[in-house]
Structures are given as C-alpha cells and as structure tokens.
Amino acid sequence: MEREVRVRFAPSPTGPLHIGGVRTALYNFLLARKTGGKMILRIEDTDQTRFVPGAEDYIRESLEWCGIELDESPWNGGPYAPYRQSERKPMYMQYALQLVEAGHAYYAFDTAEELEAMRERLKAAKVATPQYNAITRATMKNSLTLPEDEVKRRLESREPYVIRLKVPRKEEVRLKDLIRGWVMVHSSAIDDKVLMKSDGMPTYHLANIVDDHLMKITHVIRGEEWLPSAPLHVLLYRYLGWEDTMPEFAHLPLLLKPDGNGKLSKRDGDKLGFPVFPLRWTDPNTGEVSSGYRESGYLPEAFTNFLAFLGWNPGTQQELFSMDELIQEFSVERIGKSGTRFDIQKARWFNEQYLRAKPDNELAGYLIKALAEHNITTTVDKAEKIAGLMKERVSFPQDFWQEAKYFFVAPTEYNEKVASKKWNSQAVAVFEDFKNELPSLENFNADAVKDLLMSILERRGMKIGQVLQALRLAVTGAEAGPDLMQIIEVIGREETIQRIETAIEKLSAYASA
C-alpha cells in the first residue's frame, strides 16, 4: 500500500526568510497538494545561539502571504507535535545512545583547544581539508581510544562530551536524487559529524533525520547546499534501521545572481535595488531595514508564479499560472539540475500581467487608497475609469497614483522637450477654438470631444498629429499616456478648459518663438 505523501519545510528562526527558502516551501507545498498529501512546517531551532526574535513570526506571515497553506505546524498543531525542535529535545538523546550502543557512534571528550591543535597539525602536514574522521579519531580523546572504565568515569563525572557519528573508512554511499539521479560519495570524504552537542541539544543532522522519520516524511525537497550532507543522512537512516522508510530526496538548484555568477545574496539585492526577502524585515539588533516584495508592490500570486519558474517549467509555452494550475502541472521531474539566474525584470513582468488581469473595481481600490493619503476624494466610478485607462501602464499598485496624478492635480510644469517641438502659434489657435467650443457640446464624452477637435482641424486645414501631443501637454503636463480624449472625458469640461487656458498663458514664449 502506497504511503501518503508527507513533505516538510524546516526553516531556522535565524533571520528573515530568503526567497530561495520560499521557493523550497512552494515546491514542497505544490507536491503535497498535487498528490493529496500533507504539508508540514517544522522550526529547526537546535542552535539557540543563532535564534533571532521575530524570525518565527516572519516565516509564518511570509508563507501566509504567498498562499502556502500548512497542514501541520507549531501554530496549528498536528498528530506529530511538537513542531519546534527545541521542544522535542528530550527525545533525541535516546537515538544518539542507540547509535553508540550499536557501534555506529561514540563519545568524544576533546576540548576546543585540542580540536584546534588537531586542525593545526593537519594543516602543517598539508592536509587539504582537516577534519575529525576515520583516521584522525584514533589520535583524539574519545570512547574509541580511551579505556572503557575511563569513559565510564568521565561520563559519571559529567565531563563535557559530544556524540559523533562513526563513519566507515572505506565505503561508497549511494543516494538516488529525484532531480540529479544517482549520487555517490566515498565515505573518506565524510567526517565524523557531531550528532549531540555538549549542551544536550542535537545537531541538525541527527534532529532532522529523527524528526523526518517520526513525522513520516516521504519526500525531502531542499536546497542544493544540503547535497553534501545527504550521504551522511543516508548512513544515519541505515544505522538507525530506517533505511526501508527513508524519504526520497530532491535537491533544488541554486538561485543565482542576475549575472549568473554565484548564489543570490541580500548584498546582491541591496546593490542592484531589488528585495531578496518576501516581506520587509527590520533587524532587531541593528535596526537595519531590508525591503520586501510585498511592500514593494508585488502581488502574492505574481510573486509565487515568478518563484515557481525559478528552477521549474511546465514544458509548455504557458507562463501565467494560478496556484491551482501550478498544483495541477507541478512535478519534481521538471525541476532543472542547474542553477537559475535571478531576473527581477521577469518578476516585474509577472506583476504587470496579474495587475492587468484584475477587474477595474479592484484596481480602483489601490487608487482610492493612495488618493486618501493625499487628502483627495473621488467617486468610485471615476476611480474605476482611471484604473481601466492606466492599467496597461503600471507595474505596481502604487504606480496608479504616480501615473494618474494629473487626473486630480493640474500640471504646474510642462515637458520642455515637447513644448519646444510641438507648442506653436498654429496649435494655440486650434486650442483657442477648442476651449471656446467645448461648452457647446451637448454630450461631453470622448467621442464628442474628438469629433469637435477634428472639425476644428479640418476648418484650419491641419492634421491631428500636428496638435495632439501639444494638447496632451496642456491637459496632463506629460508627453505620453492613454487615449487623450478619454482623459479629457474623465477630467471634465470645466477643468479641461481651465488647463488649456493655463497652458496657453504659461507656454506663450514657445508660441511666439
């Protein structure tokens, strides 16, 4: 009988969640939902020295914003609680002792000074990677080298110790990765990792194996940086007698800098002007503020769609996917092996597509909110019309105010480049007629306004191209924008006349030049 798919995302509360971590959570979530399985979140806080206040809440809020739903977590419980490793502390020692008793682990009593001396000796002997392993353990102070009665005495006197894994000296460790295929590592490249620290807390290596087994995790989808540790984890599953139920592994490719050289970091985002965290983060120790995608104006559905494509593709030309569509199409087999270059322009493109797909009444809400911040009121109908006109020209919700400001605030400055080229006495003559005849229009709408302008141009033997940009300048102060006749309809008759009169007065120098 097939096991229920159970995946886990296991972040450490050591600071804000990097978007690489969000992508890992997203892929886990997509697999869980695709297979009808469960998505678990476990907080891996065994290293209490690195704990950062607020980080756990940040993780929770980030996942909620992205639409990544959790079936079991520290916040909503589940059948395998608790879901914080620090709260599971009492259970790990028994497994470490089981390994010791079976001869797969041992007590090590070496002091920090003795460990440093060992590393220095190896460096002096030109050993490329000094480590505590099958060779060097024979020269150190541990239960493999000390007499049994001395080991017992040291333990009874509560002398500080760690428990290390006893890695075999000559063995090939094999692992089948769902993305990379078979991975083989010789045990001589694996050091005797610490499993239990002297403070009684497990290291990541032991704790995550024990927890994954007890929580019945079937698939471990995690970053490529954990691939070197995977053979060690295979040994732990074997030595604990759990190899038959060991989860399947998938190690995700790195998120690379925009130039493709190296892993994407916060420093890269700071330097190039884009966020690397889903939400804004304020460092509780330094007060340093890091920008977030949410606060920068990215929609959560656009952000997750963009993230999904950083390493995965559906094998078709389709790029826009709702969360339900991503779930339907997702497969681990379509995740690439090589690192994915980060492209903030693509993220912006996704945001633009999602904004344009929204109904005008929803987009109007962004504009109304921004107007309120500037003490400007408007009708919902007018806001909807403006949103409909502007949505092809914005990338973020906050752009509605920046791009549509002239609907509410008459220009006080004019684009000099347009004025010098397009503002002339012929254009002014047309605008004089236009503003004088606008009051006579029975129906003031875009079509009627355009018909009036065309009739004036025909009388004067001119083409619309000779005056349109100058008229736009008079009405909006800008050189480009949506359909000008529709802008005039929204602005209204009296305001349009007033703006044309002001422009004629302020730009008189160009008309007489």
Which residue ranges form the domains of the chain, and what is each CATH number? 6-73+206-255 (3.40.50.620), 89-196 (3.90.800.10), 266-357 (1.10.1160.10), 361-512 (1.10.10.350)
Please report how many Cα atoms fall inside a 13 Å half-sphere around the Cα of residue 402, on the Cβ side.
7
pLDDT surpassing 60 at residue 91: yes
pLDDT surpassing 70 at residue 297: yes
pLDDT surpassing 60 at residue 513: no
Of 33, 34, 21, give the one whose Cα is nearest residue 70.
33
pLDDT band per the 50, 70, 90 thresholds, residue 495:
very high
pLDDT tens string 104-152: 999 999 999 999 999 999 999 999 889 999 999 999 999 999 999 999 9
pLDDT surpassing 90 at residue 48: no
C-beta atoms surrounding 76 within 10 Å: 12
Q: Which residues are catalytic?
A: 266
Longest Cα–Cα distance in the chain: 113
Distance CA 345, CA 200 (A): 48
Burial (CB < 10 A; 0-12, 13-18, 19+), residue 346, is middle
Residue 266 marked as a ligand binder: yes
**C-alpha distances in angstroms, 491 versus 280, 327, 359, 410?**
37, 45, 22, 10
Sign of CA dihedral 223, 224, 227, 228: negative
Sign of CA dihedral 319, 311, 328, 25: negative
Question: Taking CA 507 as the corner, what is the angle to CA 502 and CA 510, rounded to the nearest 5 degrees?
Answer: 160
